[in-house]
Amino acid sequence: MILKPSFNIFTSEDGREALQVIKNKNIDVVTLDLKMPVMPGEEVLKQIKDYDPTIEVVIITGYGTLKSAVEAIKYNVFDYILKPFNVSDILSTVKRCLERREMSFRVKAFLTEIEKESKSPLKMYKHISHFLNKLDEFYHPAKSEGYLEFVKVLTSTLETNDTYTKGHSERVNYYATLIAEGLGLSQVDTRDLQTSAYLHDIGKVGISVNNGSLDENELTEMRKHPLKGVKMVSPLKLPHEVIGGIKYHHERMDGEGYPEGLKGDQIPLFARIIAIADCYDAITVGRPNKAAMSKNEALLELKRNADSQFDKELLDIFAKALRKK
């Protein structure tokens, strides 16, 4: 009821009733609890997104877990709020949610037009680069508090059509943020890290490979995506820390990574954080030729590669944060 003075509100006693309201009314935003009678909140979320993926969802719950948070990311939930909460936080969240919905429609419409004209990944890459160069004519995130929201919408839209990359950037952002919290990064640094995490794979737009094992030519092509990504986002004039995360997230602590073979502390902090988050997500989601690992299996796999591939100190912070979830 706290939203009633500002918005047209419909309430439901349970999940099934909520789904009926959604089908009978024009709904923009749903605030959803995970613990409800008749139908679990996770199932309601799934059915909402199956019915209309453009409906924004804010989860408000007193029963938050790592599993439910990752499930929320999978279905592109706008925010995940734990009880107890402040009324002002809910109002602010719903307003930002509506702003993102409007922005999402604009970005998707623009990218749909691009796709119609693009007959190859290379053309898509050129069109997206042109889009970012002309951003002032469309929406300039650097001039708005919606900067990070723009990045979220852009990356989630680009990932929509691929089962295995859908939600990947959002999950990498989530895991990277856990490490940022463990390090005690400032709010500004955390926001910059999140921007870098969302954009870390944007260079893959211009690369066409199969989802299975890569042959030598495909692997060479795939390894170009960090540099392509940096080139694509150059019009955004991002801080150099953000660029470093995008460019160097495939470097390794032993110097055997790419694109420059940096070693140890030569690798920027954001890149070392994103490397852990990126790999953890990849091995816990799985691929057509490789089954997904459990949380414990994935952490053991990462630890086996501590110091050679990953920063051991950051990995310990990440493992500690995950075990709390």
Catalytic (active-site) positions = 204
**Cα–Cα distance measured from residue 170 to residue 151, given in angstroms and rounded to the nearest whole number:** 10
**Cα–Cα distance measured from residue 262 to residue 120, given in angstroms and rounded to the nearest whole number:** 33
Three-state SS for 166-196 is: CCHHHHHHHHHHHHHHHHCCCHHHHHHHHHH
**Cα–Cα distance measured from residue 102 to residue 296, given in angstroms and rounded to the nearest whole number:** 40
Backbone angles phi, psi at 60, to 5 degrees: -125, 115
Closest CA to 141 of 238, 243, 247: 238
Closest CA to 28 of 110, 111, 94: 94
Phi-psi region of 305 (alpha: psi -120 to 50; beta: other; left: phi over 0): alpha
